[in-house]
A and B are shown apart, each in its own frame.
Chain A
Amino acid sequence: MSAPGIRRRDFAARLWRRPGARAAVLVLALLAGGALAAPVLAGLMGRDAETVDLLARLAPPSLAHPLGTDELGRDTLLRLLYGGRVSLLVGLVGAVAAATLGTLIGLVAGYFGGRVDALLMRLCDGFLALPLLPLLIVLAAIDPAKLGVPQSLAGGDDASIYRIVALVALVGWTGVSRLVRATVLSLRERDFVTAAVSIGAGPWRIMLRHLLPNALSPILVATTLAVGSVILVESVLSFLGLGIQPPMASWGSMLTNAQELITTAPELAVYPGLLIFATVVACNVLGDALQEAIDPQQQARESGA
C-alpha cells in the first residue's frame, strides 16, 4: 500500500495510453455535455423538447430545426438531448444503485461466511437463472398503489425514473456481489484485517473501512460496464411502453413510434438508436480498458505476448 499517489498516476497513464479509452471518454463527455447543455439550447431556440407544432410535422432539417421535427412537430435535436438527460441519468444512477446493493450483499456474504454466505449466494444463483426480460416486463407493469406506495410518489412526474432505477437495482446486483465476495474472501485472512479485529474494530467498520477500499477497483469496472447494460434495459422497457412515460422522453421511448413511421420518417428510427449504441459501446470499451489498466498482467496474457 506504499505510495498510492504514484500507483494512481501510473494507472491513469496506462488507461490513457489506450486509444479506445480516450475515444470512449470523448464520446461520453460529448453526450453528457449535450445533455447538460439542453436547457441552454432550448432557451436559445425559444422552445422546449415538449413544444408541439402540428403545422411543422415531420419537417426536414432547417435552421430552426437542425435535425428536423417528429410526428408531432417537436424539435428532434432538442428531444434527443433531453432524452439523453433521462437515459444517461437512469444508466448512471441505476448502475450505482445496483452496485451499491451488490457491494453490501457481497461484503456481508464474504465477511460473515458460513450460512449467511451460502444463503446469499444461492439467492444470487437463483437470480442469475431467471428469465430477466419477461420478469422485468411484469415488474414494470405492476401497480405501485397495490404495494402501498403513496400516490404522491407513485403518480409524480419522475415516478417512472424511480421505478426503473429500483427495477435495475433489484435485478442487477448479482454480478457485483460475486466480485466483492470473492475479493473479501481473499482479503479476510490477511494480517491487516486481523490487526483491525485485535484493536477492537466492529464488523461494519472492518467491512467499510478496511475491506471495501481494497475491493474498489473491481467494483469500478463492473459499474462502468453496468451503465451500458442499464441503458440497454431502460431503452427496451421504454420502447415497449413500460419504462419512461410521456411527455418525458428517453432515447428508448423516442423509438416507440419509430416502427409505424419507418417508411415516412426513417431518420427518427436511426438517431436515438445510434446514440444508445454509441453510449453503450463507449461504456463497454471504457470498462474493458479500466479492467486492463487495473490488471496489466492479464492483458499481457490475453494478447498472447
Chain B
Amino acid sequence: MSRFLVHRFLQAAALVAIMSFACYALIGLMPGDPIDLLLSSDPRLTPEDVARLKALHGLDRPLVERYLAWLEKAVHGEFGYSRLYAQPAAGVLWPRLVNTAALMGTTLVLAAGLALPIGVAAAARAGTRFDRIVNALCFAGISVPTFWLALILILVFAVSLGWLPAAGIPMARDPGVVDRLRHLVLPVATLALATLGGHVRYVRAAMVEALHQDFIRTAHAKGLAPRRVLWRHALRNALLPYVTVLALDCGTLVSGALVTETMFGYPGMGKLIFDAVMGNDYNLALLALLLVTALTVACNLAADLVYAALDPRIRQR
C-alpha cells in the first residue's frame, strides 16, 4: 500500500513539474510579448532599443535558462505582477479559486444527489421503458454544448420569463445571501445538467454490474427484501467506482466551469484564465494554468487513493 502511495504521488509530482515547463513554453509562444506591447504603445522605439530591452529583461536568453530563472522565483512564492489587475498575480487568484470552489461544490452535490437515485432506479428496471427514457435523456445531457445550454437557459429564464438574473454574481456591493444564491441558480443548473447525464450512466452501469454478482443472488436466496438488496448490497459495491468518478469530475469541472463562468460573467478560475490569455497577461495566465493543472492532477491522485482506501483488493497489491 505505501509503495503504491509513494509511486502514485511521485508520478503526479513529476507530471506537474513537466507541465510547469510545458506551460511556461506555451505561454511564451502566444502572440505579443511584453516588448511587443511596449513597442505598440511607443512607436518611436528603434530596433536597437528593442534588442536592448530584451537583453535587459533576459528575453534574449534560451528558453530553459528563462524557465529556471522563473522557477527559482516561483519556489520562493514570487509569481510576478498581473498586467490586467495591476497587483501580484497570486493575490488575484485566491478569491477566484474560492468562487470556483463554491460553484463546483454546489454542482457536484446536486449532480451526485440526483444521479444516485436515478441511476439506481434505471439499473433496477434495466431494459424497461423507464430505463430507455433515462438513457435517452442522458444522451441529450452528454451531447449538449455547455455554452449553448447556458444561452438557452438565459433566453428562457432570464429574458423570456424574467424569473432569474442572467449574471452569475450580483451587481450590488454587499449582496445578501439570497441574492447571491439567486444569481448562482442558472450557472449551477447549466453545469449540473451538463454533467448529470454522464453521472447517471456511470451509476447505472456500475449498478448493473453489481446486480449480476453472485452475492446478490445469495442475498435474494436468503430472503432479504429486494429493496434492501438493491440499496444496501448492490449500491455499496457500485458506489466504489462512482466515488472515483466524482473525484475525477472535480478536475474536469474546473475546465467545464470555464465556459459556464464566461457565459455568466462569474468571476472564477476559468474566466480568469480565459481573460488572462486573451489580454496578454502572461504572469497571471501561467500561474492560473499551473494551479488548475496541479488541482486537476491532485484530484486524479485523490481518485486513485480513495479507490485504494475503499477497496481492500487493490490495497493488497
Contacts and interface: CB of A to CB of B under 8 A. Distances in A.
B237 interface: no
A129 B29 contact: no
B127 A303 contact: yes
By size class, the interface of chain A is: 35 or more
A138 B285 CA distance: 9
B20 interface: no
Contacts of A285: 139
B19 interface: yes
Given A138-B30, A284-B139, A126 B18 contact: yes
A143 interface: yes
Interface string A138-157: 11011100110000000000
Contacts of A141: 30-31, 277-278
B235 interface: no
Interface in A279-305: 280-281, 283-285, 288, 301-305
Contact of A266 (B126, B144, B155, B255): B155
Contact of B145 (A125, A276, A304): A276
Given A129-B251, A134-B255, A262 B31 contact: no
A95 to B, nearest CB: 15
Contact of B147 (A125, A138, A147, A236): A236
B26 interface: yes
Contact of A133 (B144, B255, B295, B300): B255
Nearest to A127: B15
Query: Does more than half of chain B's interface fall in helix, strand or loop, or is it mixed?
Result: helix
Interface in B271-296: 273-274, 277-278, 285, 288-289, 292-293, 295-296
B270 interface: yes
Nearest to B158: A262
The size class of the interface chain B forms with chain A is 35 or more
Interface string A256-293: 00110011001001101100110011011100100000
B262 A132 contact: no
B215 interface: no
B92 interface: no
Interface of A: 122, 125-126, 128-135, 137-139, 141-143, 146-147, 228, 232, 235-236, 239-240, 252, 255, 258-259, 262-263, 266, 269-270, 272-273, 276-277, 280-281, 283-285, 288, 301-305
Given A273-B145, A303-B131, 6 more contacts: A131-B252, A133-B256, A239-B147, A266-B155, A270-B152, A284-B143
7 contacts: A134-B270, A134-B293, A138-B285, A142-B30, A240-B274, A280-B145, A304-B126
